[in-house]
Amino acid sequence: MDEGDGMTKYLNKTKIEWCDYTHNPAYGCNHKCVYCYARKMSHRFGRSFEPHFYPERVDAPLKHKTPSRIFEGSMTDMFGEWVPGDWLVPVFEMMSAADWHQFFVLTKNPRGIRKLYDETTNWYFGGGDFLSNVFLGVSVTYQDDDWRIDELRKQWVGPKFISFEPLYDKIECDLNGIDWIIIGAQTNPTVLPTLATIESVLYRAQDTPVFFKNNIRGVFGLSDRMFRQDFPVIK
């Protein structure tokens, strides 16, 4: 699963509907989420899920010249508490250079974004102050996760997105300044959100582009008219 798509090694064609490729210069995670597809996939292949960084993988997107949507760090949390700043800097330098791609980095720990501009790495204020092609996002599955949205706004001035996947709760949150929203269900086993939980997000989304994963098509009462798969617009 890490050998590339036959075009560019370490850049992997994916079945994830909202992106074209995944790229994993880091692998493994310490969050231990019970619904984590990445951990389940890793164990299925008999592979350790302890975090590790592979510097030889970093530049793969630079070799792929077709503009693409790339899920960066799909098998890890790039801003996990265990991730040192020196893992992040080469990845963000690469994304800055590969500006013909859109990159999406998803985290449960938005406070970790600070590692980009602390006194050790100093990347952010060293020239990477705004990347219009890099979307940083947070996972929100329960109401108690809404602090991540506020923290994301504090820590990242570039494009921002929220992944409500899996969506378990009705969510009351402020989505001002959010550029994209993903809504999806838990898989393996499937746990569908209710129509009411979906509507709680849509009510607050207003004009924000929303991408429904195909796995929520079975939600009772979700009409074809409501179902949408919008993509973000670079401003």
Q: What is the pLDDT of residues 186-227, one digit of tens each?
A: 887 788 999 999 999 999 998 899 999 999 988 988 888 889
Which amino acid type is present at position 35? Y
**Which tokens is 27 given?**
């692998």
Judged against a pLDDT cut of 50, whether residue 104 lies above it is answered with yes
| Average pLDDT of the residues in 168-186 | 94
Q: What is the pTM of this model?
A: 0.87
Taking the CB of residue 138, how many other CB atoms lie within 10 A of it?
Answer: 27
Residue of 196, 176, 192 whose CA lies nearest to 184: 192
Which amino acid type is present at position 57? R
Task: Identify the pLDDT of residue 1.
Answer: 36
Instruction: Among 70-74, 129-133, 161-165, 228-232, name the one with the lowest average pLDDT.
Output: 129-133
For 91, list phi and psi in degrees, rounded to 5: -70, -45
> What rounded mean pLDDT belongs to the chain?
85
Domains in the chain: boundaries: 11-216
**Which CATH number is 11-216's, of 3.80.30, 3.30.70, 3.30.1450, 1.20.1740?**
3.80.30
Separation in Å, CA 4 to CA 74, 92, 188, 206, 207: 14, 20, 25, 38, 36
Judged against a pLDDT cut of 80, whether residue 182 lies above it is answered with yes
Distance CA 218, CA 185 (A): 10
**Which tokens is 187 given?**
């898989």
| Average pLDDT of the residues in 92-117 | 92
